C-alpha cells in the first residue's frame, strides 16, 4: 500500500472522510476521486473490431460527475483503448502510453502493432500496480494480425481474446455475451450485439449510464457511432 | 556564543565516527553526514536557526507524517489536527457564443468562521486563460501560480500564446504527481485560437472538457440552475445572468458560500474581470471609525535607558556604479 493510501486509511480511522472539500459527496478512498465505474467492451468481427463504452463518471458511487465523458481514447491511428477504474490514473496512463507508442512508431517507421500498444499499457499497469487503479481494454487493427482485442486488468495481466467485457457493469452481461457471441459476425450484427450488451449493462448498473459510444475499427479506417440514451434498445423497460 | 550549537553537533558526530571506526553502516542514518547536501535529522534536532537553508523547491509533505503521529499520540486520537483554510465555495463556468464566463462567490471559511469576505477565487493564468479554484485555499492559489509561471515561461520561449488544453494538461500532471494530496478542484476556462474551452481538473488529476460546470460545496444547487437553463451558443448577457444565478443558488443553499459574486468574461478581444459583479444584500456598514485618538491611553511614567553600543567591526564596500 502506498504512502497516500496509508495516510488516507489513518484519516478514515480517525473519522475523517477523505477531502471534505466536496462535502456532499465524501469519496470512497478505495477509488480515488472520480471513478469511471463503467461498462466497457470490445468485440472482433469479420474484418475489424468494435470497441464500446458507456459515458458516465461518478464520485463515491452516488454523484454523477459527468454524463458525457469519453472513455474511448485513441492511442494511435487504428488503436483505441477504453478505460475503467480511477479516471485520474487512467488518463495519466493513457497519456504516457500515447507518448511511448508514437515514439515507438517513429523509431520503427511503421504503425505499431496492437499487441505493442497493449504491452505498453501492461508495463505501466504492472510496474505501478501498487499505486494505480485502472484497467484497460485495447482493440485495433494492424497489418500483421488484423483485428485484435486485448485486455489489461488492474494488476497488469495481459490477455488476448476474441471479445471481452470490463468495468463494474460487465458483471450483469456475462451471460448475455457468452450466449450471444458468434465468431466471424458481420459489421451490422456485431454493432447490434455490442449495443445490446451496453444497453443491458446500463439498465442494471447504477454507475453506468449516459450515451453508448462505439468505435468501429477496420482496415479502411475508424468510425465513431454514438447512440443516445433514449435510442438504446429496450428490454422490458416500462 | 553562536558557535556553541555547531561545536556540540560536530563533537557528537566525531565521537560516533571515531567510536565506530570504519563500520560506516553502524552509524544511524540520522547522524551520518550525507553527500546529497540535504539537511539531516541531526541539524533539525539541534535547531540551528542561524544557519540559512535554501528551501527545496516544490511541495514538501514532511508534516503529513508528523500530523498522523501527533494525532495518534495526543489523547489517543481525540485531538484532531487543525483544519486547513478551505474556501467552501461555489464556482461555475459556462461556454457561450463568443467566449467563456466564469463566476465565483467570495467567502473563505475556516471551520465555522468566515475568514475572508472578499476572497478572490478567480485566478489569473494567462491573458486569455483564467481559473476558478475550490478546495483548500492555499493549494488552489499556489497551484494556479505555478501554472501561470510555467505558461509565461513557455510563451516567452516559444513565442506562442498558451492554449487552454496545455494549461489543463500541466495542471493534470502536477495534481496527479501529488496523488491527491493537493486539495485543488479547478475550473479552467479560456479562449484561444482553437475556440472557447472549459475544463474541469480534479484533485487526483482527472481532466474533463465540458460546456458548463459547477464545483465546490455549493455545486449541487448551482448545477441545478445550469442544467435547467444552459443552451448552446448563448448571448453574453444571458450567459452572465445564468452564471450569476447559479452562484446565487449556491450561496443561498450552502453555508460555506456567500458574500459577493465575481464574474470573469473571457473573449477573443480580451477579459472583463468584474469584481464584484453583485454585492451581497446583507452587507453591514461599519457603525463608527474604530480609531483611537492620541491621548486615549494615559501615560503614567516614562523611563529612558540609553543603550551603550560598542562599534566592533566596520566594513565599507564600494559599489561600482558606471
Provide the pLDDT confidence category of residue A105 given band limits of 50, 70 and 90: very high
Q: Verify whether residue A38 is a known catalytic residue.
A: yes
- Interchain pair A34, B183: CB under 8 A: no
- Chain position carrying cell 517507421: A109
Average pLDDT over residues B176-200: 92
Residue A105, number of CB atoms within 10 A of its CB: 17
Question: How far is it, in rounded angstroms, from Cα B251 to Cα A42?
Answer: 45
Shortest CA gap A85–chain B (Å): 12
Q: Give chain A's length.
A: 238
Average the pLDDT over each of A5-19, A157-171, A203-217, B231-245 and give the range with the smallest value: A5-19
pLDDT at position B15, please?
Answer: 35
Give, as one character, the DSSP assignment of residue B26. Answer: G
Q: Which residues of A touch B202 (CB under 8 A)?
A: 33-34, 87-88
Closest CB from B175, B185, B207 relative to A21: B185
Q: What is the 3-state secondary structure (H, E, C) of B234-293?
A: CCHHHHHHHHHHHHHHHHHHCCCCCCCEEEEEEECCCEEEEEEEECCCCCCCCCCCCCCC
Closest CB from B202, B216, B219 relative to A33: B202
Shortest CA gap B119–chain A (Å): 17
**Res. B201: pLDDT tops 50:** yes
Question: How far is it, in rounded angstroms, from Cα A192 to Cα A198?
Answer: 10
Q: Exactly one of B10, B18, B89, B194 is catalytic; which is it?
A: B89
- Chain position carrying cell 496512463: A93
Residue in A21, A25, A210 to test binding to B, most B beta-carbons within 10 Å: A21
Domains within chain A, CATH numbers bracketed: 37-228 (3.60.20.10)
Q: Give chain B's length.
A: 322
pLDDT at position B282, please?
Answer: 74
* pLDDT tens-digit map of A134-170: 999 999 999 999 999 999 998 899 999 999 999 999 9
Question: How far is it, in rounded angstroms, from Cα B287 to Cα B289?
Answer: 7
Q: Which residues of A touch B206 (CB under 8 A)?
A: 33-34, 57, 86-88, 91
Question: How far is it, in rounded angstroms, from Cα B193 to Cα B200?
Answer: 20
**Res. B115: pLDDT tops 70:** yes
Cα-flanking dihedrals φ and ψ of residue A40, to 5°? -130, 150
Residue B201, CA distances (Å) to B176, B180, B185, B204 in order: 10, 12, 6, 8
Residue of A nearest to B207 (CA): A88
Residue of B nearest to A22 (CA): B217
- Chain position carrying cell 483554510: B85
Cα-flanking dihedrals φ and ψ of residue B96, to 5°? -120, -170
pLDDT at position B321, please?
Answer: 81
Residue of A nearest to B183 (CA): A19
Q: Which of B95, B28, B60, B138 is nearest to B239 (CA)?
A: B95
pLDDT at position A6, please?
Answer: 63
Question: How far is it, in rounded angstroms, from Cα B177 to Cα B269?
Answer: 35
DSSP A67-97: SS---EEEEETTEEEEEEEBHHHHHHHHHHH
Question: How far is it, in rounded angstroms, from Cα B121 to Cα B134?
Answer: 8
Helix boundaries (H) for B21-84: 41-46, 62-73
DSSP B173-196: HHHHHTTT-S-EEEEEEEEETTEE
Average pLDDT over residues B184-191: 94
Shortest CA gap B10–chain A (Å): 34
Provide the grid cell at A132.
494505480
Average the pLDDT over each of A29-33, A44-48, B208-212, B218-222 and give the range with the smallest value: A29-33
* A190 neighbors A225 (Cβ within 8 angstroms): no
- Chain position carrying cell 446583507: B282
Question: How far is it, in rounded angstroms, from Cα B118 to Cα B277?
Answer: 12
Q: What is the mean pLDDT of chain B?
A: 80
Q: B203-236 as b/e, with b when 16 or more CB fall inside 10 Å?
A: bbbbbbbbbbbbbbbbbbbbbebbeeebeeebee
**Res. A21: pLDDT tops 70:** no
CB contact set of B285 (below 8 Å; sequence gap of 6+)? none
Residue B293, number of CB atoms within 10 A of its CB: 6
Q: Which of B180, B121, B132, B124 is nearest to B151 (CA)?
A: B124
Question: CA neighbours within 13 Å on the CB side: how many for A215?
Answer: 25
Average the pLDDT over each of A33-47, B69-83, B282-296 and give the range with the smallest value: B69-83
* pLDDT tens-digit map of B81-96: 555 555 578 999 999 9
Provide the grid cell at A204.
442494471
Question: CA neighbours within 13 Å on the CB side: how many for A89?
Answer: 25
Q: Say how many Å lie between the first and final Cα of chain A, rounded.
A: 46
Q: Which of A177, A111, A60, A99 is nearest to B173 (CA)?
A: A99
**Res. B33: pLDDT tops 80:** no
Amino acid at each position: 500500500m502506498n504512502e497516500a493510501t496509508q495516510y488516507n486509511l489513518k484519516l478514515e480511522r480517525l473519522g475523517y472522510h477523505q477531502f471534505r472539500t466536496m462535502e456532499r459527496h465524501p469519496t470512497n478512498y478505495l477509488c480515488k476521486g472520480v471513478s469511471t465505474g463503467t461498462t466497457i467492451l470490445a468485440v472482433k468481427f469479420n474484418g475489424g473490431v468494435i470497441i464500446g463504452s458507456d459515458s458516465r463518471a461518478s464520485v463515491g458511487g452516488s454523484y454523477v460527475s459527468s454524463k458525457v465523458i469519453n472513455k474511448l481514447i485513441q492511442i494511435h491511428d487504428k488503436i483505441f483503448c477504453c478505460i475503467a477504474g480511477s479516471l485520474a490514473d487512467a488518463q495519466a496512463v493513457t497519456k504516457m502510453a500515447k507518448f511511448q507508442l508514437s515514439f515507438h512508431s517513429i523509431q520503427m517507421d511503421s504503425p505499431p502493432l496492437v499487441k505493442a500498444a497493449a504491452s505498453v499499457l501492461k508495463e505501466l499497469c504492472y510496474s505501478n500496480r501498487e499505486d494505480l487503479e485502472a484497467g484497460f481494454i485495447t482493440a485495433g487493427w494492424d497489418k500483421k494480425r488484423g483485428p485484435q482485442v486485448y485486455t489489461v486488468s488492474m494488476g497488469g495481466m495481459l490477455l488476448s481474446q476474441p471479445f471481452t467485457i470490463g468495468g463494474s457493469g460487465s458483471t450483469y452481461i456475462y451471460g448475455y455475451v457468452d450466449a450471444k457471441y458468434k465468431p466471424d459476425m458481420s459489421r451490422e450484427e456485431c454493432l447490434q450485439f455490442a449495443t445490446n450488451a451496453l444497453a443491458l449493462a446500463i439498465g442494471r448498473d447504477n454507475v453506468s449510464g449516459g450515451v453508448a459510444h462505439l468505435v468501429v475499427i477496420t482496415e479502411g479506417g475508424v468510425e465513431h457511432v454514438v447512440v443516445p440514451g433514449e435510442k438504446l434498445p429496450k428490454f422490458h423497460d416500462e | 556564543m553562536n558557535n556553541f550549537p555547531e561545536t556540540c553537533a560536530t563533537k557528537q558526530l566525531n565521537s560516533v565516527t571515531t567510536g565506530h571506526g570504519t563500520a560506516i553502516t553502524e552509524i544511524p542514518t540520522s547522524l551520518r553526514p550525507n553527500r546529497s547536501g540535504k539537511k539531516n535529522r541531526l541539524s533539525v534536532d539541534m535547531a540551528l536557526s542561524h544557519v540559512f537553508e535554501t528551501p527545496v523547491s516544490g511541495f514538501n509533505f514532511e508534516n503529513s507524517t508528523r500530523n498522523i503521529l501527533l494525532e495518534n499520540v495526543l489523547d489517543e486520537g481525540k485531538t484532531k489536527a487543525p483544519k486547513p483554510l478551505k474556501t467552501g465555495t461555489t464556482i461555475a463556468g459556462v461556454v457561450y457564443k463568443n467566449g467563456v464566463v466564469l463566476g465565483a462567490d467570495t467567502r473563505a471559511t475556516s471551520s465555522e468562521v468566515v475568514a475572508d469576505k472578499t476572497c478572490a477565487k478567480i485566478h489569473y493564468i494567462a491573458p486569455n486563460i483564467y481559473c476558478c479554484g475550490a478546495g483548500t485555499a492555499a493549494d488552489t492559489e499556489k497551484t494556479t501560480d505555478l501554472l501561470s509561471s510555467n505558461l509565461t515561461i513557455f510563451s516567452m520561449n516559444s513565442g506562442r500564446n498558451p492554449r487552454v488544453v496545455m494549461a489543463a494538461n500541466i495542471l493534470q500532471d502536477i495534481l496527479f504527481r501529488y496523488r491527491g494530496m493537493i486539495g485543488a478542484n479547478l475550473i479552467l476556462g479560456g479562449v484561444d485560437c482553437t475556440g472557447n474551452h472549459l475544463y474541469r481538473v480534479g484533485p487526483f488529476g482527472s481532466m474533463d472538457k465540458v460546456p458548463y460546470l459547477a464545483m465546490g460545496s455549493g455545486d449541487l444547487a448551482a448545477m441545478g440552475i445550469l442544467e435547467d437553463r444552459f443552451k448552446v451558443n448563448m448571448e453574453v448577457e444571458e450567459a452572465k445572468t445564468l452564471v450569476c444565478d447559479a452562484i446565487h443558488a449556491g450561496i443561498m443553499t450552502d453555508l460555506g458560500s456567500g458574500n459577493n459574486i465575481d464574474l470573469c468574461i473571457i473573449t477573443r478581444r480580451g477579459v472583463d474581470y468584474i469584481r464584484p459583479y453583485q454585492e451581497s444584500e446583507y452587507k453591514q456598514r461599519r457603525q463608527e471609525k474604530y480609531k483611537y485618538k492620541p491621548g486615549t491611553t494615559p501615560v503614567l511614567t516614562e523611563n529612558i535607558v540609553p543603550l551603550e553600543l560598542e562599534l566592533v567591526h566596520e566594513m565599507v564596500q564600494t559599489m561600482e556604479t558606471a
